[in-house]
């Protein structure tokens, strides 16, 4: 395999890690409340600015920054659930979609108001941008950490969902809310857990985005958020493994599209992403790992 292709695959893996982390939250939240949280990408933006603030103001060690971003992401997710989703439980789905779009616009514009729309550079500790020596391709330490951390977080998520009492309660609530209540499950707590976990992962993706690309701004969550949503749909929305798979496939496809086709097509990368979505849904209407469509009023 040529070094060039290898480099593209590495880049795709890194981008895919971030898409996957955001896509998981879309799927978890959809799975449990049957609503898409369109403000989910903006939580990544908040995570990126949390990292910036923690690094600038306090010069905290990177591990503390990571924990702070996870906590702030979870807190923002819980706040969105309490303010925008809980009051609408039982209302038609469309109301929830529109409300979450409004929350997204609100977060972005508050960000512009407070932080200005000017992109800012995030100064992560210098050792993170050291290239890994002895490889035929250019990979920095931060890139390796992004991929490793994403895998660790996904493994932890899998353990929580499949092996704990809380995870069992979340799966049961996602499948049948009323019967979950008959079992004694506090469904509000299960729903809050899904929002908190999914949003913490999105915040983490925002930190990674800032660490890899160096610049962040209040609108940065919108397009990657939309693409992560596409990844979740490709994987089969509601399925956590599907979201992971969709995230990596989309990251790889996007990078390979830009890297392998003549440069004049590079401007079409977003069109390519959404074109892929249409193609996948034409063949597999429920996504790669999704279940047959269901409707829960």
Partner 1 sequence: MPVPVLEIDAAQVWRGQTHVLHGIDLTVGEGEIVALIGANGAGKTTVLMTISGLLRPRDGAVRYRPHGGDPVDLARLAPEAIVGLGIAHCPEGRQVFASLSVRENLLIGAYLRRDRVAVAADLDRVVARFPILGERARLPAGSLSGGEQMMLAIGRALMSRPRLLLLDEPSLGLAPQIVETIFDILGDINRAGTTLLLVEQNAAMALELAHRAYVMETGRVTLSGAAADLADNPEVRRAYLGAADETMAGR
179 interacts with partner 1 by CB under 8 A: yes
Q: Residue for token digits 């599209």?
A: 257
184 interacts with partner 1 by CB under 8 A: yes
Size of the site for partner 1 (CB under 8 A): 16
Closest CA to 197 of 154, 232, 234: 154
Residues 10-49: x where in contact with partner 1 by CB under 8 A, - otherwise, as a string: ----------------------------------------
Nearest distance from residue 181's CB to partner 1, in Å? 4
Q: What are phi and psi for residue 89, nearest 5 degrees?
A: -65, 130
Residues 134-173: x where in contact with partner 1 by CB under 8 A, - otherwise, as a string: -------------------------------x--xx-xx-
Interatomic CA distance for residues 82 and 89, integer angstroms: 11
Burial class (CB in 10 A: 0-12, 13-18, 19+), 166: middle
Q: What is 103-143 written as a DSSP string?
A: HHHHHHHHHHHHH-SS-EE----GGGGPBPTT-SS--BHHH
Interatomic CA distance for residues 46 and 95, integer angstroms: 24
**Closer CB to partner 1, residue 210 or residue 290?**
290
86 interacts with partner 1 by CB under 8 A: no
Interatomic CA distance for residues 25 and 229, integer angstroms: 9
- Contact window for partner 1 (CB under 8 A) among 58-66, 79-87, 183-191, 218-226: 183-191
- Contact window for partner 1 (CB under 8 A) among 12-20, 79-87, 179-187, 277-285: 179-187
**Closer CB to partner 1, residue 175 or residue 270?**
175
Nearest distance from residue 179's CB to partner 1, in Å? 5
Interatomic CA distance for residues 41 and 129, integer angstroms: 25
The residues binding partner 1 (CB under 8 A) are 165, 168-169, 171-172, 175-176, 178-179, 181-187
């Amino acid at each position: 395999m040529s070094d060039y292709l290898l480099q593209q695959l590495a880049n795709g893996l890194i981008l895919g890690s971030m898409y996957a982390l955001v896509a998981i939250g879309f799927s978890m939240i959809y799975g449990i409340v049957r609503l898409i949280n369109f403000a989910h990408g903006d939580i990544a933006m908040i995570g990126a600015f949390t990292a910036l603030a923690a690094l600038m103001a306090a010069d905290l060690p990177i591990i503390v920054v990571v924990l702070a971003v996870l906590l702030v992401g979870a807190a923002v997710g819980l706040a969105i659930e309490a303010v925008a989703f809980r009051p609408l439980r039982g209302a038609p789905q469309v109301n929830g979609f529109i409300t979450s779009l409004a929350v997204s616009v609100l977060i972005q514009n508050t960000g512009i108001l407070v932080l200005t729309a000017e992109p800012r550079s995030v100064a992560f500790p210098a050792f993170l941008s050291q290239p890994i020596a002895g490889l035929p391709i250019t990979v920095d330490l931060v890139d390796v950490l992004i991929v490793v951390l994403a895998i660790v977080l996904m493994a932890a998520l899998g353990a929580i969902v499949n092996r704990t009492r809380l995870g069992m309660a979340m799966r049961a609530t996602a499948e049948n809310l009323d019967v979950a209540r008959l079992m004694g499950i506090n469904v509000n707590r299960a729903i809050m857990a899904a929002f908190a976990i999914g949003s913490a992962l999105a915040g983490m993706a925002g930190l990674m985005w800032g660490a890899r690309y160096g610049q962040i701004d209040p609108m940065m969550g919108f397009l990657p958020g939309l693409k992560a949503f596409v990844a979740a749909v490709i994987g089969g929305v509601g399925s956590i493994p599907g979201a992971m798979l969709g995230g990596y496939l989309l990251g790889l496809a996007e990078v390979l599209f830009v890297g392998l086709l003549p440069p004049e097509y590079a401007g079409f990368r977003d069109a390519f992403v959404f074109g892929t979505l249409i193609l996948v849904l034409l063949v597999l209407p429920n996504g790669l790992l999704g279940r047959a469509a269901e409707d829960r009023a």
